[in-house]
Amino acid sequence: MSIVIFCVSMAPGKYDEKSLPPHGLHLHKNTQILYGAENAVGKGVEFMKNVKHKMDITFDHKAPSIVIEIPQYYNGYADILKKGGKIRCITEITKENLHYCEELVKTVTELRHMDGLKGGIAINEAEYMATTVLQEAQPLTEVIYSNVDAVVAQGQFIFDTLWKNATVAQKKIKELKEGIKSYETKLITESNDSLIETELGRIVRDSSEINIYTSIDGLRINKNYLIESITHALANERINAHKRIRILVEINRDNLEIIKELLYLGIQIRHSQDISSIDYTVTNSDLIIAVQRTEKNDPSDSILYSNDPSYLDHFTNVFEEMWKNSKDPERVIKSLEEETELSFIETIDDPAESVKLIRTLISSAKYEILGILPNFNSFLRQVESGMMEFMKTISLSKKNVNIRILIVEETDNEMQHKILTVFDKFNGNIPGSSNFGEVPLEFQFKDVENFKLKVLNSRLFTEIGFLIVDKNKSLIIESKNIASIDMVKSIGLSSYSNSHRISKSYASIFEALWTQSELYDKLKVQDRLQKEFINIAAHELRNPVQSLLGYSDILMNTTGNIESYSNFIVTINQSTKRLARLIDKVLDVTQLENELLILNKENFSLDKLVIEIVREYNNNIHLLNKNQLEIRYDSRLNDCNNINSESNRNFGYVFADRTRIIQVIMNILENAVEFTEKGTITLRLNENMTTHEVLLTINDSGSGIDPEILPNLFTKFVSKSRKGTGLGLYISKKIIEAHKGTIWAENCYNRNNKIIGSKFTLIIPSKDN
């Protein structure tokens, strides 16, 4: 270390420069520059005589000989000690001045060692002196003297700073005499980088094994140091067995070219994301740590150097552990060049960081968010922490992001009612106002189609939650089994990964559980509907069977002309047909579910078929006590040509099973008639010559379809009728689909948004005749 002490501050004063004597300035409070050995020595002797209690002095490695060999100085030191004063002295102790320093230890109160001292300073209670570079055993030839208070204070501060960092003289003397290696830890600070560069160059040049731990910025900033030092040390040759250089760094696009350059030189490089902002280089004998940077792109202001074995061992062990857990650079470089993200798994032990990451991941979603909550309390914590409100905000702002949340716990009606109450609050409803049935609900925010929350009513026990975003990023969260609804307190360890394969695997688990939840819901729905069907079927069977038994008993016990019992015979016939229809429906369902339905297709006019059905219905409408109901048929070609006349009925041909199509139309008409007390039922037929399809609509002016059952209208056992079995529309849909056609239903509304009827639409593929 090179330390040059000088002072150029001059106390202000009024004097005539021409009257200055050649040897210096003489003022009451002044700063003087004294030239010549006589003047310098004289001022030094005077300075020592002025000491009352203490003198602090520093000088370079040549000064100990001056103090010991020049009587004026030696006696001056002795006089200070005789009158009870103290002398603190700092110098550079070397092999060459060891003899003088051993004598100097006896001459001063305390002596300390510091490397690289040049020149010197001295301070007593009121005076300050500074010298230039000395000559061994020669007196002073030039000094700066001042008794200005500010200058004295400044000199004292400098001395005290050096004293704190100096080494006890006895230790240094012992090391030199016994040949003991000196261990030191020192801060090297320079306004330029020359000394730092020199130290780094020496380490690279002299060490057989070099380990460099550096941040991205550190590697980029120290590029010239590293490249130049290493290139010089290798002498344009590849690294051989006698020198090994390893660099641990986080590789990214900013330092990619530097990394390639260092790899080309044969340096071993590994990638780690756990690199801190501290850069250090450690060998078997040296440690350099970059301790400060004033600006992001500036080199280190200073470095901490040490050859202390305890520090070397510590930083070497840290490096080796990091090296073991680091990644091959070739894979990282390939990922960066192909612009793909490098996969990783990170363990997070800070619950607050986990919560922050959850929000970050949700905000980053591009098309999908999948979440699993391990229990009902986890859901309540999400609500309490504002996470559900946050999810609602995301779902509203990102319409293209599909969000699905699954609660994995067997819940009771009370739990589900609480969930519904929460959503009532979010949706602006009066809590508890929603219709809550036995069937598990799929919970949604109002007017938000891309958010769904379901409950998996399963005894599956888990204490971890999942968050999967875009099947690219996943977060697995340990959930503590505590009563608190504080989200942070309930979180244990978390595992975060950006691996596509890992995230996709977790997404598959989610999909399996989600499908299980849907199947469970359907099973409960089917169970409820099947019970209702049994009740309806029992009713449907009981009435006709009772009629058959009653009227047949009457006929068996009656004599006379059979014509007089025609009413009984008609009732028996109707009851028998009713039973036959019920049996046919059950058989149809069995065939459809076992894919045994056989279609006897033929080419026929659907137009003429509809005319026949409408005519038959109108002829028998009075038998149904529907005297205020009229059934109409209106057919159009391409929505524009009215072809009601018999002569123009040469359209609407389909290639289908005539009997099955009749069954479908009759099923729909039966429902329309049942739910329409008065008004009209209108059938319309259109043909699209472009798509080769025939479209049949059936509109009624009845009570419409209950909105609760509309989404499931074509499933088994769904019915609001006291008479129906809930099988007719299910069978109709299956028949139309077997013809590669489609069928759907909808309600009709007036301007006041009131239901004024329903509309069924059938599309059947046509075939030109």
CA distances (Å), origin 153, targets 118, 127, 421, 649, 650? 21, 9, 76, 120, 119
Note whether residue 458 is domain-resident.
yes
Note whether residue 121 is domain-resident.
yes
| Domain, as residue range, for 463 | 345-523
Note whether residue 582 is domain-resident.
no
Helix and strand counts by DSSP (H, E) for the chain: 22, 32
Residue with tokens 């929000």: 359
Q: Which of 473, 409, 411 is nearest to 436 (CA)?
A: 411
CA distances (Å), origin 57, targets 21, 68, 122, 651? 28, 15, 4, 121
Q: What is the pLDDT of residue 192?
A: 44
Whether residues 360 and 490 fall in one domain = yes
Q: What is the pLDDT of residue 218?
A: 54
The list of the chain residues with pLDDT below 50 reads 1-27, 137, 191-192, 220-223, 236, 238-239, 294, 296-297, 299, 433, 435-440, 637-647, 768-769
What would you measure as the largest C-alpha separation in the chain, in angstroms?
Answer: 169
Computed from CA positions of residues 21, 23, 25, 29, in that sequence, does the dihedral angle turn out positive or negative? Answer: negative
Buried b (16+ CB within 10 A) or exposed e, 217-246: bbbebbeebbeebbeebbeeeeeeeebebb
Whether residues 166 and 218 fall in one domain = no
Note whether residue 296 is domain-resident.
yes
Whether residues 356 and 468 fall in one domain = yes
Whether residues 356 and 276 fall in one domain = no
Question: Strands 54-59 and 86-91: what pairing?
Answer: parallel
Whether residues 199 and 172 fall in one domain = no
Q: What is the pLDDT of residue 14?
A: 34
Whether residues 615 and 707 fall in one domain = yes
Note whether residue 465 is domain-resident.
yes
Q: What is the pLDDT of residue 661?
A: 93
Whether residues 211 and 228 fall in one domain = yes
Q: What is the pLDDT of residue 141?
A: 64
- Give the residue from 523, 541, 560 where a domain finishes: 523
Taking only the tens place, the pLDDT of each residue in 304-350 is: 888 888 889 999 999 999 899 888 888 888 877 776 666 778 889 99
Q: What is the pLDDT of residue 532?
A: 62
- Give the residue from 142, 162, 178 where a domain finishes: 178
Whether residues 145 and 106 fall in one domain = yes
Q: What is the pLDDT of residue 721?
A: 63
- Give the residue from 178, 198, 215 where a domain finishes: 178
CA 407 to chain centre: 21
Q: What is the pLDDT of residue 623?
A: 64
Q: How many domains does the chain have?
A: 4
Note whether residue 297 is domain-resident.
yes
Whether residues 93 and 60 fall in one domain = yes
Whether residues 364 and 507 fall in one domain = yes
Q: What is the pLDDT of residue 404?
A: 94
Q: Residue 633: what are its φ and ψ, rounded to 5°? A: -130, 130
Q: What angle do CA 552, 554, 560 make, to 5 degrees?
A: 110
Note whether residue 554 is domain-resident.
no
CATH number for the domain harbouring residue 234: 3.30.870.10
Q: What is the pLDDT of residue 87?
A: 96
d(CA 70, CA 736): 123
Q: Which of 679, 676, 658, 670 is nearest to 610 (CA)?
A: 658
Whether residues 54 and 112 fall in one domain = yes
Residue 745 structure tokens: 């239903």
Residues with Cβ within 8 Å of 388's Cβ and at least 6 positions away in sequence, in order, are 382, 422, 426
CATH number for the domain harbouring residue 732: 3.30.565.10
Residues with Cβ within 8 Å of 662's Cβ and at least 6 positions away in sequence, in order, are 609, 613
Note whether residue 376 is domain-resident.
yes
Whether residues 216 and 322 fall in one domain = yes
CA distances (Å), origin 398, targets 29, 372, 394, 426, 450? 79, 20, 6, 18, 9
288, 199 contact by CB (below 8 A):
yes
Name the amino acid, one letter, at 661. I
Question: Strands 302-306 and 473-479: what pairing?
Answer: unpaired
